[in-house]
Amino acid sequence: MITIDDFNFRDKKALIRVDFNVPLDADFNVADTNRIEAAKPTIIKILEDGGSAVLMSHLGRPKGSSNPDLSLSHIVRAVSEVLGVEVKFAPDCIGESAEQAVGELRSGEVLLLENLRFHKEEEAGDPDFAKQLAQWGDIYVNDAFGTAHRAHASTTVIAQFFPDAKCFGYLLAGEIKAIDTVMKTGQKPVTAILGGAKVSSKITIIENILEKIDHLIIGGGMTYTFVLAQGGTVGDSICEPDKTDLALSILQKAEALGVSVHLPVDVVAADDFSNEAQTRIMPANAIEKGWQGLDAGPETLREFKEVILNSKTILWNGPVGVFEMQSFAAGTIEIGKAVCQATKNGAFSLVGGGDSVAAVKQFGFQDEVSYVSTGGGAMLESLEGKTLPGIAAILE
């Protein structure tokens, strides 16, 4: 794997695809700088070598037209503060203004180009647009895992213009290594914790990882489709009755492969989807009518935690309850604590997928697990066994 450590950037301009698609508040201030901080080591390495950095990113979905609300000019101050370097800004990513800004860039300086998606050619993967962008750098660095599953001009097509001068930044290299650890090189036993609402949204992941894991913990809303498939009653719980055959086929395949599947045995049930609802502990396979399972129960958590603490490699994708409501957050918090403890004991833990990432950040676990993925869709597609175009373009 070719990374920025394979290059010396002295007197070179690095053209870096970053993922600065960050949330802005009502006053256009950056509300969460995590993605900027994640790209910092790559940018600083280049500057310390004596090179300069030209940053390209998208922000939101402007659909090929200039939208002042989605201008990257709003994030210049935040990027400058995170990097500790005054960041210059070009009012376009191609054309005369970009050419002038790049031309004036000196070693040790950073330039942020305007939103790539102000041009429809970006998402279309247009080669001419990619060629125009390619003029701005001597070496192309892809450090945007969050967009690596998109075959866009700046993430994939552009690489062909740098046949011998393209590489992964530290962030993207780290993501690839983390996923490889879970899928290929991790110590056994390997445990996957899959939560979330629907079996249908996780089926390709489950099918791809079953041959690589020893334990599969299933939580969240997915639970109730499995319960229904096995003849249990789920009350008013979220469920996919048309996916019960799919659930049974997963259990059969897991058994054939010698994978232990762990389903909840009890749940925290509520008489309403509300933080103020009445709650009761009920068997996971005997939830009464008028009640719905919204979190893992105490016996379930005891069993899940035992599996997690005996694991050497852990993938966590999806919460085990409606953690956004305080009344139903305990299960996800306890799973998080167990993953952190296992990590402390020497296990490798990868957390990925929007809701589980949100949970580890909300409850302060992000520094106690091995790796928190920055790319939701990209990580899911990697776990599904797909080769991401942005990664393939560097490896070719």
35 is in an annotated binding site: yes
Amino acid letter for position 343: T
Strands in the chain per DSSP E: 13-17, 52-56, 87-90, 110-113, 139-142, 166-168, 190-194, 215-218, 233-234, 260-262, 266-270, 279-283, 286-287, 292-296, 313-317, 348-351, 371-372
| DSSP letter string, 106-158 | -TT-EEEE--GGGSHHHHHT-HHHHHHHHTT-SEEEE--GGGTTS--TTTTGG
> Quick check: is 375 catalytic?
no
- Residue from 35, 88, 166, 212 carrying the catalytic annotation: 35
> Quick check: is 354 catalytic?
yes
Task: Reply yes or no: is the peptide bond before residue 189 cis, omega within 30 of 0.
Answer: yes
> Quick check: is 35 catalytic?
yes
19 is in an annotated binding site: yes
Phi, psi of 331 (to 5 degrees): -60, -50
59 is in an annotated binding site: yes
10 is in an annotated binding site: no
- Give CA 347 to chain center in angstroms: 20
258 is in an annotated binding site: no
> Quick check: is 45 catalytic?
no
User: Are 190 and 260 a contacting pair, CB within 8 Å?
Assistant: no
51 is in an annotated binding site: no
272 is in an annotated binding site: no
Phi, psi of 341 (to 5 degrees): -65, -40
356 is in an annotated binding site: yes
User: Are 153 and 133 a contacting pair, CB within 8 Å?
Assistant: yes
- Residue from 198, 253, 337, 386 carrying the catalytic annotation: 198
How far is Cα 33 from Cα 19, in angstroms, rounded to an integer? 11
302 is in an annotated binding site: no
Q: Which residues pair with 332 in a beta bridge?
A: none
202 is in an annotated binding site: yes
58 is in an annotated binding site: yes
- Residue from 131, 253, 354, 361 carrying the catalytic annotation: 354
266 is in an annotated binding site: no
20 is in an annotated binding site: yes
HEC readout, 290-306: CCEEEEECHHHHHHHHH
245 is in an annotated binding site: no
How far is Cα 368 from Cα 336, in angstroms, rounded to an integer? 9
117 is in an annotated binding site: yes
DSSP 8-state secondary structure symbol assigned to residue 30: B
Tell me the CA distances in angstroms from 218 to 59, 331, 346, 377, one per residue in order.
34, 12, 23, 20
- Residue from 232, 337, 377, 386 carrying the catalytic annotation: 377
Token pair of 62 as six digits? 């402007």
Binding site residues, as ranges? 19-21, 35, 58-61, 117, 150, 202, 293, 324, 353-356
Binding site residues for ATP, as ranges? 202, 293, 324, 353-356
Binding site residues for substrate, as ranges? 19-21, 35, 58-61, 117, 150
Q: List the catalytic residues.
A: 35, 198, 354, 377
